[in-house]
Each structure stands twice: as C-alpha cells, then as structure tokens.
Amino acid sequence: MSTHDEAEILYRRRKYDLQMTQDEVAAEAGINKQQYQRYEKGITKLSKAAMETGLRICLALELNPYEVVFEDWKDMVGKKG
C-alpha cells in the first residue's frame, strides 16, 4: 500500500488476514455494524474515534493501534517531545 489509509488497513486485515465479517468485528468491538462500516469505508477516521472505540476495533482485528493511526509509527514509538 503506497499511502497510509486507515480504511484500507481495516478492510485488508478483516477480509484477508482474519477472514472475518463486518458483523463479527462489530460484535467483538461492541459496536453496531453500521458504525464499523463507516470506519472501514473511510467515512469516519478511526484516528478521530473515541479512544475506547478505536482500541476495541484494533483489539478485534489484532492490530497495533499505532500502525493504524500513524503512518510512521515505528519512528514515533519510544520518542518523547
């Protein structure tokens, strides 16, 4: 993937890596399917979600939250101001 795209990360992880349905992800994250679809379609950015919602989705998809939110997350982890 040439550009960082939260929606694409969510879609690929769900569909190809975990072979989960949107219903399954939403249920595991404790949200409704329509809310999850908005993140996966890019209508709503996961990085702008309530922290608990974003973390629940990342947990359901076994994703590192930094990977989803920050394109250069490996450079950022462990660095302070």
CATH number at residue 51: 1.10.260.40
pLDDT over threshold 90, residue 1: no
CA nearest neighbour of 70 among 47, 42, 54: 47
Q: How high does pLDDT run on average in the chain?
A: 89
d(CA 53, CA 81): 26
Tell me if 44 is assigned to some domain. yes
Tell me if 76 is assigned to some domain. no
- Number of domains making up the chain: 1
Tell me if 29 is assigned to some domain. yes
Tell me if 78 is assigned to some domain. no
Q: Which domain holds residue 28?
A: 6-70
Q: Read off the pLDDT band of 77 (50, 70, 90).
A: low
Tell me if 80 is assigned to some domain. no
For 32-60, the pLDDT digits (tens) are 999 999 999 999 999 999 999 999 999 99
